[in-house]
Amino acid sequence: MQLTTQAVQIGLEWDNRTGAVAVPIYQSATFRHPGLGQSTGFDYSRSGNPTRQTLEAGIARLDNAAHGFAYATGMAAITSLLLLFKAGDHLIVTEDLYGGTCRLFNQVFDQFGLTFSYVDTTDIAAVQTAIRPETRALFVETLTNPLLKFADLPVLATLAHQHGLLLIADNTFLTPYLLRPLEAGADIAVYSATKYLAGHNDTLAGLVTVHDPSLAERIYFHQNAAGATLGPQDAWLTIRGIKTLGVRLDRQQENARRIADWLAAHPRITKVHYPGLSEHPDHALMQHQARGFGAMIAFEVDKHALVEQVLLKTTLISFAESLGGVESLITFPQVQTHADIPPALRQRLGINDRLLRLSVGIEDADDLIEDLRQALEGY
Amino acid sequence: MKLGTKLIHSGTTVDPQTGALGVPIYQVSTYRQTSVDHFGKYDYARGDNPTREALEEAVAALEGGSRCLAFASGMAAISTTLMIFSPGDHLVVCDDVYGGAYRVLTSIFSRMGISSTFVDATDLQAIAAAIRPETRGLYLETPSNPLLKVTDLRGAAALARQHGLITLVDNTFMTPLLQRPLELGCDIVLHSGTKFLNGHSDVICGFSVTDNPELGQRIRYIQNAFGTGLGPQDSFLTLRGIKTLKVRMEQSQQTTAAIVDWLASHPRVTAVHYPGLAQHPGHAIHAAQADGPGAVVSFELDRFETTKRLLEQTRLAAFAVSLGGVESIISYPARMSHAAVPAEERARKGISDTLVRLSVGLEEADDLIADLEQAMGA
């Protein structure tokens, strides 16, 4: 079955009593037991909630994984995964990482004795060099934020597994619709479902998928023990969002392609990072491994003063954090999403004071281009 | 303002834009910005959401704290708050702590280098004896779960202060309506808001409250960094639940008193644990620090068969985990809330195979008693 069909099927056959085609929102904290030592399969909503479970089974199916887990936010999902490790363990991490993840690693887990090395994970030799005896995992973003570098998961997986490391892939920018990380060799996929999966800029959610049963058992233990689970209303909204994932992303990618071409030809734009452009260094690899290039674009304007003008003069495109929703959003990574990355690293990576990140929505491409055109005028 | 009024009028209860009496449900992830240099107070909903914020302000006001953070569950509140400690730190914890808290302490925080010693916290000398040079926190529940043991919060907080420890109190069973640990000298109050605060068995949520601005800032930092904050729908429902906290709790307490009287004279009941009883060992201390005994009672039965029959035959009281809802809930600590505690540890703590915990809801006392009576048999 194709992924778009699977997405629409989520929750369709859950409710046997009424035949409702949407899973009910089980706004219930606890569940009555039929007898001593007996359970309906549901005891307490932190441990298992039917609405959340439908979402968890749904994302597992989309990722072709055996198990799915849903959390209050994407950061809660990542935090829960880090609980798999113990003091003294070392992780190798993609260097141009989402700022929130970087903050969590450097300022929270660091003090609990986990250590992190930031490397360019598109450079396999650099990853190999960074492996130490105490290295336990490789954490990559399948398409990085904000510079849109593509991770070669099959090669990384081979390297990781040779050294007994877990390969964890943050697939937020691509979603299972464009790439299934576990099929490409990752052990764990993690999502900020707030973005493309829920897709409406209205719900915060995090998801994890995994295939290995013993790993799944440990992840479930921490999900239940630490309790950062997703509530039923938000689980339901995420399911609702996933049903339109395919049509939204198709349109978003079409729009992104047109905007990237238009930006590349604009005299005030000095650089466009979009893997759909043939000059992007990962274009060929991504064409081979993924089913699309996504709908995120990063671009540089020719001078810093233009940054503020673009952010404030765009009217259809909102100046706001986050991404992946039906509405187009524009951000300034240096001071917003990536403020917690150390400045020296930021500069080296190219997250500079002229870089903007655009999340392309499903508005008409002509209107979006016109909005950008008028915002870039003058100066 | 009295607490009963605060329940209705704390925090942002009127929407400034429309005058709506309830805070709107801000089902949104991000907020449009107007300046490159100065972001608005709201930039991303993991950090700030007005609906969650209204709830946080309300609970802070009720507990008498300057800062409250709302979380996706009571365990998310507990585990996020415990992240204020560092590797090498040691905690002294009451020995019949909720099984979920026991589990995170002994299986997650222990691996991060934060160790715990479990002591009978009804005995201040036992707490004092467990304090080591590296002890940083004292973690308490009173009345405790499920045995309703009482800890002297003023005494414990004063002892903790002498040793430079942070005192954390899980106030789930009492709610700020009946007990306000910050006023008694404690530093952080924790809640499973799922229970009496929300009160309808329909939301999972938790709180961490403090009057210390630095601790508040630190917990808020971790809440945002971890992303364990409560969603807007659940925040709204909890705010809605809190409005009836007083009427619910007063009614449930009254009903509990009637049930406790009945249980105490029942031939198959061998012990009743309830701090409202004059013979309860912590009765006087509880009366000095709380405004009521609450609506949770635990009791022991003559044998396992009676216990099993009671749990399976009650019709009104739902046999389920959790507590604090409008529906009465009967549960079996040995296999439910405290299943995560090893069997011999449970036995040592007095959580026997004939112990039952009853959370009293809003049904009529006569109906509940008749139901218990038919289920327990002669």
CATH number of domain containing A93: 3.40.640.10
Shared domain for B158 and B28, answered yes or no, is yes
Shared domain for B149 and B284, answered yes or no, is no
Shared domain for A290 and A154, answered yes or no, is no
Shared domain for A214 and A178, answered yes or no, is yes
Shared domain for B73 and B175, answered yes or no, is yes
Could you give the number of structural domains in chain A? 2
Shared domain for B194 and B249, answered yes or no, is no
CA distance A278 to chain B (A): 32
Which pLDDT value is given to residue B378?
63
Shared domain for A205 and A317, answered yes or no, is no
Low-confidence ranges of chain A (pLDDT < 70): 379
Shared domain for A238 and A134, answered yes or no, is yes
Q: What is the CATH number of the domain that holds A256?
A: 3.90.1150.10
Domain boundary residue, one of A175, A209, A242: A242
Shared domain for A298 and A188, answered yes or no, is no
- Its domain, for residue B75, covers 3-242
Site of tokens 């222990």: B110
Instruction: For residues B43 and B33, give the distance between their C-alpha atoms in angstroms, rounded to a whole number.
Output: 7
CA distance B237 to chain A (A): 10
Shared domain for A216 and A358, answered yes or no, is no
Contact B231 A225 (CB under 8 A): no
Which of A52, A61, A136, A195 is labelled catalytic? Answer: A195
Which pLDDT value is given to residue A379?
61
Among B122, B61, B155, B138, smallest CA distance to B282 is for B122
Q: What is the CATH number of the domain that holds B332?
A: 3.90.1150.10
Which residues does residue A131 pair with via DSSP β-bridges, in sequence order? none
Shared domain for B352 and B321, answered yes or no, is yes
Shared domain for A304 and A181, answered yes or no, is no
Shared domain for B79 and B68, answered yes or no, is yes
Minimal Cβ distance to A201: which of B29, B111, B329: B29
Q: What is the CATH number of the domain that holds B173?
A: 3.40.640.10
Give how far the C-alpha of residue A299 lies from the chain's centroid of Cα atoms, to the nearest Å: 20
Which of A63, A89, A96, A98 is labelled catalytic? Answer: A98
Detail the DSSP E strand segments found in A4-89: 67-71
Global pTM reads 0.85
Shared domain for A271 and A361, answered yes or no, is yes
Q: A48: Cβ–Cβ under 8 A, 6 or more apart, which residues?
A: A41, A42
Q: What does the DSSP assignment read for B331-364?
A: E-TTTTTTTTS-HHHHHHHT--TTEEEEE--SS-
Shared domain for B143 and B271, answered yes or no, is no
Which pLDDT value is given to residue A11?
87
Domain boundary residue, one of A225, A242, A259: A242
H-helix or E-strand spanning residue B241: helix B232-242
CA distance B126 to chain A (A): 28
Shared domain for A90 and A207, answered yes or no, is yes
> From the candidates B25, B29, B41, which should be mutated to test the interface with A, based on the most A CB atoms within 10 A?
B29
Using the Cβ of A316 and the Cβ atoms of chain B, whether some distance falls under 8 Å is answered with no
Residue B344's CB is within 10 A of a number of other CB atoms, namely: 8
Which pLDDT value is given to residue B196?
97
Could you give the number of structural domains in chain B? 2
Instruction: For residues B251 and B257, give the distance between their C-alpha atoms in angstroms, rounded to a whole number.
Output: 10
Q: Tokens at residue A233, please?
A: 């209303």
Shared domain for B370 and B320, answered yes or no, is yes
- Its domain, for residue A97, covers 3-242
Shared domain for A342 and A235, answered yes or no, is no
Shared domain for A198 and A280, answered yes or no, is no
Using the Cβ of A103 and the Cβ atoms of chain B, whether some distance falls under 8 Å is answered with yes
Using the Cβ of A310 and the Cβ atoms of chain B, whether some distance falls under 8 Å is answered with no
Q: Tokens at residue B298, please?
A: 């635990």
Give me the tens of pLDDT residue by residue for chain B, a chain 378 residues long.
Answer: 888 888 888 766 667 777 777 788 888 898 888 888 888 889 899 999 999 999 999 999 999 999 999 999 999 999 999 999 999 999 999 998 999 999 999 999 999 999 999 999 999 999 999 999 999 999 999 999 999 999 999 999 999 999 999 999 999 999 999 999 999 999 999 999 999 999 999 999 999 999 999 999 999 999 999 999 999 999 999 998 998 899 899 999 999 999 999 999 999 999 999 999 999 999 999 999 999 999 999 999 999 999 999 999 999 989 998 999 999 999 999 988 888 888 898 888 889 999 999 999 999 999 999 999 999 986
Q: Is A149 a catalytic residue?
A: no
The length of chain A, given as a count of residues: 379
- Tell which A residues from 261 to 300 touch B, by Cβ distance under 8 Å: none
Give the CA dihedral B176, A229, B29, B50, nearest 10 degrees: 0
Q: What does the DSSP assignment read for A151-194?
A: P-HHHHHHHHHHTT-EEEEE-TTTHHHH--TTTTT-SEEEEETT
Shared domain for B259 and B205, answered yes or no, is no
Sheet holding B90-94, edge to edge: B67-71, B206-210, B188-192, B166-170, B135-141, B90-94, B115-119
Give the pairing of strands A269-273 and A296-301.
antiparallel
Contact A27 B202 (CB under 8 A): yes
Which pLDDT value is given to residue B348?
87
Omega within 30 of 0 (cis) for the link into A267: no
Domain boundary residue, one of A218, A242, A266: A242
Domain boundary residue, one of B192, B214, B242: B242
DSSP reduced 3-state for B222: helix
Shared domain for A69 and A110, answered yes or no, is yes
Instruction: For residues B359 and A245, give the distance between their C-alpha atoms in angstroms, rounded to a whole number.
Output: 44
